Copies of this chain bind each other. A is one copy, B any other.
Amino acid sequence: MAALTLHPDRLFPADATTRDIARALYAEVADLPIISPHGHTDPAWFATDAPWDNATELLLAPDHYVFRMLYSQGVDLDALRVPRRDGTPATDPREAWRLFAGNYHLFRGTPSRMWLDHVFAEVFGFDTLLDAANADDYYDRINASLATPAFRPRALFERFDIDFLATTEGADDPLDHHAAIRRSGWRGRVVTTYRPDSVIDPDHEEFRPALARFAELTGEDVESWTGYLAAHRKRRADFRAAGATATDHGFATAQTANLSPAACEALFGRVMAGRADAADAELFRAQMLTEMAKMSVEDGMTMQIHPGACRNHNARLFDSHGRDKGADIPMRTDYVHALKPLLDVVGNEPHLTIILFTLDESTYARELAPLAGHYPCLRLGPSWWFHDSPEAMRRFREMTTETAGFYNSVGFNDDTRAFLSIPARHDVARRIDCSFLARLVAEHRLLDWEAAELAHELTNGLVRKAYGLDAAAPARKAA
C-alpha cells in the first residue's frame, strides 16, 4: 500500500529560492479563515445539521468532477450510483465506492486527486492512498466517522474555520432553509445568492413553473413588464434580508442589451405570449442583465456574470440522468462587444461591482484584463470551474495581473457542491497565489513586504470588499 501524505511544500515551485519565499508567504495566510462567496452547497445541511449517509453519496455520486472522469474512461454512471432522472439508484453504494477506488489512478495530475487526498488525509485521517485493496476500509471508516457528531455539517463548518459561505438559490425559492438557519440561533454565516436564471431565460425548461412560483412569492403581476421588474426588486430585498450580498447570472453568452422602455415592453410581451424566437430569447436575457445591473446600482448587491458553458451537451445522458452530469462544455466567449450595452449604462458607476468569470482563457489577457483595468464597476472573478486548478490559476495570474493588476481581482471562489473539499480548494488557491507572488519577489518585480500584503489581500481582503461583507460594504451603503 502506498503512503498518503500531504507534503507541506506541495504546489510550491521547485526552485529553492522561490520555494523559500512561497513558504514564508503561505505561512502568513495558511490559517486565515475561509471566505466562500460563491458556491453550491445545500443550505438544508446547515438548517437540519443531519448526518450524511455514506461515502458514496457524499463524495462520489454528487460530484460531477469525479464521475465525469470515470465516465470518460468507460465506467457506467449507474455503476457509480449517480442518480437517474427518476431517482432510482442503480447499484449498491459500497460497490460504487469499490469501482471508484479501483480507478483512482485515472485522477493522477488532476485537481480532483489533490482535493480528494486532502479530504481523505485531513478530514478523515487516512494515511494510505486510496486503491482497490483498501476500498472497503476507506468506505467503512468514512461512514463510521460520518455517524459521529464531529462530522455533522455545522461541526465541520466550524472545524473548517469558514467565516462566510454563500449558497445559490433561484428567484422562485422560498428560502426556508436559510430562514431555519437564522431561527436556529447557530452563528455560522451561511447566506444565499440571488440567481434568477430560471425566471429570466425563456429557454429554461423550468421557465413557466418558476415564473408561477415567482408570482406567488411576490404577489406581483409578473406577466406585465412593470410587475415583473417589481417582483425582481421584491425578491432581491428578500434575499438581502436573508443575508445575500450578491446576485449570480449564468447564461450561455455574455450578451447584454440596452433597449428603450417601449422596446422592453414589446419584447417582454412576446416572451410572455410564447412568441419569442431564439433571437428574442437571447435579447431578453441580454436586456435582463442590464436590468439586474441597474438594480444592483440601486440596492448595492454585487453582480456576478459567468457565461460560456454549452449546457447538457450529451443528449442521451441528459435524457437518462438530467442536468449537471459533467456534460457542460465551455465554448468561445466574447465580452468586448457583448458587454458594451450594459457598460454604456452602468460602466462608470464607482459603487457598483460586477464580477466577470470566464471558461475561455483566451479572453483573460485579450478582453477581461483590459476591461477590468479600465471600467470602475468591473472586477475579475477567479479562475473557475474547469480552471480552478493549479496550472489554470497560475495562467490566470500570469495573463491578467500585468494589465488589470491584483486589485481588480476578487480572491478565490470554490464554486462547489462538495462541502468537504472546501478547505482543500482554498488551500490550493492560497498556495498557487503565494507561488506566483514568490516568483515576482524572486525576480525582483515586487518587494517581500508588498507580496505579504498582497497574500493577505488575495486571501481575505479583496473578497470581503468585492462581495461587500463588512459593515461599510456596498451592499449596505446604498440602502
Known: A2-B449, A74-B376. A442 touches B366 (CB 8 A): no
Q: Are A11 and B405 in contact (CB under 8 A)?
A: no
A445-B109 contact given A348-B316, A365-B392, A405-B69, CB 8 Å threshold: yes
Q: Which of A284-321 contact B (CB under 8 A)?
A: 310, 313-317
| A443 partner, pick from B11, B344, B407, B445, beta carbons under 8 A | B11
**Complex partner residue of A310 from B331, B336, B447, CB under 8 angstroms:** B336
A375 to chain B, nearest CB (A): 6
Q: How far is the CA of A406 from the CA of B386 in the complex (A)?
A: 16
In contact, A392 and B402 (Cβ under 8 angstroms): yes
B374 near A109 with CB under 8 A, answer: no
Query: Knowing A336-B310, A378-B72, A386-B369 touch, does A402 contact B110 (C-beta < 8 A)?
Result: yes
Q: Are A398 and B406 in contact (CB under 8 A)?
A: no
Rounded to whole Å, the gap between the CB of A113 and the closest CB of chain B is: 8
A329 to B11, CA, bound (A): 34
Q: Does B14 lie within 8 Å of A17, measured CB to CB? A: yes
Please name the residue on chain B nearest to A350 by beta carbon: B74
Contact check: which of B106, B326, B387, B444 meets A374 at CB < 8 Å?
B326
The 8 Å CB contact of A12, one of B105, B369, B443, B453, is: B443
Does A367 interact with chain B (Cβ within 8 Å)?
Answer: yes
| A109 with B14: CB separation less than 8 A | no
User: In the complex the two chains form, what is the Cα distance from A73 to B406 in whole Å?
Assistant: 11
Number of chain A residues whose Cβ lies closer than 8 Å to a Cβ of chain B: 93
Give A85-138 interface residues, CB cut-off 8 Å to B: 105-111, 114, 129
- Which residues from B are CB-within-8-Å of A454? 108-109
Q: Which stretch from A151-159, A166-174, A356-364, A412-420 is at the chain B interface?
A: A356-364
CB of A450 within 8 A of CB of B105, answer yes
* B10 pairs with A376, CB closer than 8 A: no
Cβ-neighbour of A405 out of B107, B332, B370, B406 (below 8 A): B107
Could you say which residues of chain B place their CB within 8 Å of the CB of A343? 313-314
The answer to the question of A68 belonging to the interface, with a C-beta cut-off of 8 Å to chain B, is yes
| Chain B residues whose CB sits within 8 angstroms of the CB of A404 once the complex forms | 72
* Least distance between A79 CB and chain B CB atoms (Å): 12
A321-336 at interface with B (beta carbon < 8 Å): 326-332, 334, 336
Q: Taking the complex as formed, is A13 at the interface, i.e. its CB lies under 8 A from any CB of chain B?
A: yes
Report the minimum CB–CB distance from A362 to chain B (whole Å): 4
Interface centre among A16, A369, A375, A378 (most CB of B within 10 A): A375
Residues of chain B within 8 A (CB-CB) of A391 are 398-399, 401-402
A340: interface (CB < 8 Å): yes
A439 within 8 A of B: yes
Residues of B with C-beta under 8 A to A18: 14
Give the CA-CA distance A343 to B72 in the complex, in Å. 13
Q: A114–B360 Cα gap in the complex (Å)?
A: 29
Whether B366 pairs with A359 at a CB distance below 8 angstroms is yes
Chain B residues, CB < 8 A from A398: 391
**B336 in contact with A406 (CB, 8 Å):** no
Whether A373 is near chain B, meaning CB under 8 Å from some CB there, is yes
A450 contacts which of B108, B350, B369, B446 (Cβ < 8 Å)?
B108
Shortest Cβ distance from residue A91 to the other chain B in the assembled complex, whole angstroms = 17
Is A7 part of the contact surface with B, judged by Cβ < 8 Å? yes
Q: Which residues 8-40 of A sit at the B interface, judged by CB distance below 8 A?
A: 9-18
Q: Which of A423-479 contact B (CB under 8 A)?
A: 439-440, 442-447, 449-450, 453-454
Q: Is the pair A407, B444 in contact by a Cβ cutoff of 8 Å?
A: no
* CB atoms of A317 and B348 under 8 A apart: yes
8 A/B residue pairs, CB under 8 Å, sorted by A: A11-B443, A14-B18, A72-B408, A73-B408, A105-B407, A105-B450, A369-B386, A386-B403
